[in-house]
A and B are shown apart, each in its own frame.
Chain A
Amino acid sequence: MKELVLIIPFIPLIIAGLIGVINNKEAIPRISMFFSAFIAVLGIFGAYFVIFEDENIYGFNNLLVFNELSAILVPYVAVLGMVIRKYSAKYMWDEKGYKRFFILLNFIFVGIYLLVMSNHLVVLAIAWQIMSLALYFLVSFNIESKSAVKFANWTILTHKGADLLFIIAVVLTYKTFGTFYLSELYDIWLSQYSALDTTPLIIYVIGFLYLFAAMMKSAIIPFHIWLPYTSEGPTPVSALMHAGVVNVGGIVLNKLAFLLLLTPLVLNIAFAFGLFTAIFASMIMLTTPDIKRSLGYSTVGQMGYMIMEIGLGAFSLAVYHLIVHGIFKASLFLESGSLIHYARHDPNIPKRLSYEVFWEEKIHNQHQSKNLFWLIALFTIIPVVIFAGIKFLLSEEFFHFNAAVVILAFAWLTGTQLFLSFFKVSLSDSPKVIIGLLVSFTLIVLTYEFVGKTMEEFIYGEHAKLFYEVASLNLSVIFALGLLVLILIVGWAYIYKQHFTDIEIDGEKPNKLKWTFYKLLSKEAYFPDLFLKLFKIF
């Protein structure tokens, strides 16, 4: 009976097959919803079994497994799948290729479920590539649009690179460790972690291949450009992409977490890439005038945080983060359709809760102090500093789990920036703004602290602490590197200033450095131009 759970990845295939043969358009969403509800029920049953019986479910010659990670992710994907299918049923009704859309949608779910539930590296590699292909056809769904097809090509190109790295990594893993089965590999990796003094180079190569493949799929800078530009696809596809597909990098790294125990340098590099992506993508987001692209960069930034968490050893926190971010971003995309619909009837739309709470007061209080933005920033940073300071004094493990929490708090600050830019409350005097920001801050930090710990216990149990030990950064090296970067930046800025001739405009000297930086951000670091020039092949 319990093995029934393992048919989950094949149910979307059945849905796609049924949709392919029926001609009744109204039956398409019904079939889709019925079977996806069935998946959700199976997923919840599986999660119940794993949690309460404390036993993993293996099947299909151990090719598939329903384990702790599946128990968390399968119900999430199933519910997300139901919502997206329900939304698409009406949203896509008048589009050409309604049937094609639902078939492709189900194919991508086959890939996601296989990826989450695979216990075999070959199955994982197949799922990985099915997702690339299905995503390509979904993003280019509007096949008559030249730009949609062009950006879909950027997507498939990046994903093909990820596919190649992943395939080579799988082959090398097999050749090095002698098995494809993840359950066996976990034991090998754990035993090698205790036994090996130095990790052989080949294991580092494998770790880096997996990391870079994951970063390409998760749109980490410099492999990010496909994500902000693919919002031209149908809204449900954008929701799925930002809530599900882009997270696969994090999911796969979680599945390979024990391998990364052997390769601390890979974790440190992941942290560096994640950190840079989180900061840089958030900055680009604030300068991008296109709201959909801005949301795309917001997701890139969030993926940066996710990879950064993995780099810190907080693997389970990354899972929690991807779920929370997925729900948030899917809601944003799915709500955008109805907002546009309302806005066409009423020029004052969007008039949502955030609008009523913050925006209306701003209109009445516009004349008051404009320094409140800085006050808000102060109020949000001070608690983080206090929190971090206390933790640092009380806990020796500050740079373990809590480091991740602190960094997440900073992630929340970026969220605040997003919040402030979208809802235009930056100059508002309303105390509600401060209270709203502080409450959400407290909630985020506490939730991450407690939920993160609980999930960690559940997924990795006694091994969770090993990740933090491995991922610990050498502070003196980091400090030296930071100092080096600082010297470089200061030196460069000094030389730049020496050669810069100020030209007064209306009695004011323009800050050229600032504008150059702004230009860099607003041009999205020239990545789109580079892609346009390099990839004219299609």
Chain B
Amino acid sequence: MEFVLLILLAGVPYYIFLEKSLKKYTFFISAFLIIVGLLFMILFNVNCSQNLFCIFSAILTSLFTTYKALKTTNIYKLVNYFIFINSPVYFLFSFEYFVYFIFSLLVTLVGLYLIGYYYEKNYGSANFFSVGGLALKSPFAGLFLRIYLINLALYPPFPNAVFLFNSMLKDKLDLIWYTVIIVFFFGNFFVAMKILVNTVFGKANENIFYIDLERKEKIFHTVLNIVLLAVGIYGLEEVLK
């Protein structure tokens, strides 16, 4: 069962089958695999936190994914990569926080995916190369993107950082935990910052007519942000108790 979980949570199907023929909906398949993995954990009561093979494989996946993520400018790809950068955490977090973490991660990635969709709809593809300067030209898109990336880069009071902290408090920290924390902490941070610098920051491209988010999109992103904040505050309340 642990081997099945490793396949599901460390992105094996993604890298073997899905990446080469990347489609818009690939993200939903990757997310589905993670949720299936989660259900397996519940149904079979699996705990991989002591399985060194699983954890080291997940660390390697995380490092490899970080490397790949730093090389691409396609938001759809990046959304998938973010799922697998966090692989070691799926094996190490205590179950309760793992569920919350997955939830907040997927909510954030849905938001990021929608930003990719916004890019595709308005600028021809989900590629952010040469389409920077959103903060000045499309302030709402810039603002929401910034919030998702802050969460992914593990800053409080957003939930990813909060549940990492809660899990650190609850679990017994050993050398593997510290290795995972460092890989996961900086992997997420570097990729998120790279996207931030190339989308929100930078000079606006004069050959592009910038369009901001539509009303419906703004409402949807606002709802996602409220959900993220609420989950983050819940996690904080728990630790402050």
Contact = CB atoms under 8 A, between A and B. Distances in A.
Interface of A: 61, 63, 96-97, 100, 120, 122-123, 125-126, 129-130, 132-133, 140, 143-144, 146, 149, 153, 156, 160, 164, 167-168, 171-172, 174-175, 537-538
A171 B185 contact: no
A248 B3 CA distance: 47
A160 B168 CA distance: 18
B135 A149 contact: no
Contacts of A149: 197, 201-202
A143 B136 CA distance: 9
Interface in B140-156: 150, 155-156
B169 interface: yes
B133, B155, B203: residue with the most chain A Cβ atoms closer than 10 Å? B155
A125 B239 CA distance: 12
B186 interface: yes
Given A129-B156, A164-B182, A171-B165, A143 B135 contact: yes
B165 A61 contact: no
B194 A144 contact: no
Contact of A537 (B155, B173, B185, B190): B190
Interface string B165-203: 100110001000010011001100110011001001111
Contacts of B203: 144
A171 B157 CA distance: 17
27 contacts: A120-B240, A122-B165, A125-B165, A126-B236, A129-B156, A129-B161, A130-B155, A132-B155, A133-B150, A140-B201, A143-B135, A143-B136, A143-B201, A144-B203, A146-B202, A153-B193, A160-B185, A167-B165, A168-B168, A168-B178, A171-B165, A171-B168, A171-B173, A175-B173, A537-B70, A537-B190, A538-B193
Contact of A144 (B133, B169, B239): B133
Contacts of A140: 201
B204 to A, nearest CB: 8
Chain B contact surface mostly: helix
Contact of B168 (A97, A143, A167): A167
A129 B201 contact: no
Contacts of A174: 169
Interface residues of B, number: 31
B159 to A, nearest CB: 13
Contact of B240 (A61, A153, A171): A61
A143 B146 CA distance: 13
Nearest to A538: B197
A438 B179 CA distance: 55
A172 B203 CA distance: 43
Contact of A164 (B156, B157, B181): B181
Contacts of B186: 160, 164
A468 B200 CA distance: 49
A122 B133 CA distance: 35
Given A129-B156, A171-B165, A171-B169, A143 B133 contact: yes
B197 A153 contact: yes
Nearest to B172: A175
B157 A126 contact: yes
A126 B156 CA distance: 6
Interface of B: 70, 133, 135-136, 150, 155-157, 161, 165, 168-169, 173, 178, 181-182, 185-186, 189-190, 193-194, 197, 200-204, 236, 239-240
A97 B135 contact: yes
A366 B11 CA distance: 76
Given A167-B168, A171-B165, A122 B135 contact: no
Given A144-B203, A164-B181, A174-B169, A96 B136 contact: yes
Nearest to B66: A537
B186 to A, nearest CB: 7
A538 B239 contact: no
B85 to A, nearest CB: 14
Contacts of B181: 164, 168
A130 B135 contact: no
A156 B168 CA distance: 23
Nearest to B150: A133
B42 to A, nearest CB: 27
A129 B155 contact: yes
Given A129-B156, A537-B70, 15 more contacts: A125-B165, A129-B161, A133-B155, A143-B202, A144-B203, A144-B204, A149-B201, A149-B202, A153-B197, A160-B185, A160-B186, A164-B186, A168-B178, A175-B169, A537-B190
A63 B240 contact: yes
Contacts of A126: 156-157, 236
A212 B36 CA distance: 42
A171 B150 CA distance: 22
The 8 A-B pairs with the shortest beta carbon distances in the complex, nearest first, are A143-B201, A144-B203, A538-B197, A171-B168, A126-B156, A149-B201, A133-B155, A143-B135
Contacts of A129: 155-156, 161
Nearest to A172: B173
Contacts of B169: 171, 174-175
A125 B236 CA distance: 12
B105 to A, nearest CB: 19
A537 B71 CA distance: 9
A517 to B, nearest CB: 35
Contacts of B204: 144
Nearest to A144: B203
A40 B236 CA distance: 29
A63 B241 CA distance: 10
B193 A156 contact: yes
A126 B157 CA distance: 7
Given A164-B185, A168-B181, A171-B165, A130 B156 contact: yes
Contacts of B200: 143
Contacts of B182: 164
Contacts of B202: 143-144, 146, 149
A164 B169 CA distance: 14
A355 B150 CA distance: 48
Contacts of A146: 202
A537 B70 CA distance: 7
A538 B194 contact: yes
B201 A122 contact: no
A149 B203 CA distance: 11
A160 B165 CA distance: 15
